[in-house]
Amino acid sequence: MQSAVCPGSFDPMHNGHVEIIARAANLFDEVVVAVSANMHKTPMFSLEERIEMAGETFSYLRGVTIRPLRPGVLLTDFCKEVGASAVVKGLRGAHDLPYEASMATMNRHLTSLETVFLSADGRYSHLSSTLVKEVHSLGGEVAEFIPRAVQKRLTDAGYRGHTR
């Protein structure tokens, strides 16, 4: 069985993430969505909330599981723990490649873990979690860019900004 890990902080998850993970699910028998804490950012949602939203979002996809990626754990160790032979990363454009390529090279050097890059669908290549948070916090409408589970939490809880 071929399995892969799609890592990220997913804070919040947006439709670009969903599209990449859904495509990965067509390529691998199992896809583990590894939800991590990003030490360099202040989260909008707790790790538990992000795991719950990812679970709701991917409940329809067979072979997709959601797991926390604990702080201080190397991605390569996490992949070994879950039996994954590859990491799947989405690329929004050429600007993402240098950073992601160096990470992929290091991962391959450490453990022979391969990285599969998927180019983002043009409808989502402009999206980032940071941009979604910023637009939302300034009162902009982001519903068309995020899964229902995220929109529901933004609306129900009135997270850090305005909702419409």
Residues with catalytic function? 17, 41, 92, 129
Helix (H) or strand (E) segment spanning residue 14: none
Q: How far is it, in rounded angstroms, from Cα 12 to Cα 129? A: 5
| Beta bridge partner(s), residue 64 | 31
3-state secondary structure of 33: strand
Cα→Cα distances 105→31, 98, 150, 160, Å: 21, 11, 33, 37
CB hemisphere CA count around 125 (13 angstroms): 12
In contact, 53 and 45? CB cutoff 8 Å: yes
On the question of a cis peptide bond just before residue 12, with omega within 30 degrees of 0, the verdict is yes
Written as one letter, the residue type at 52 is E
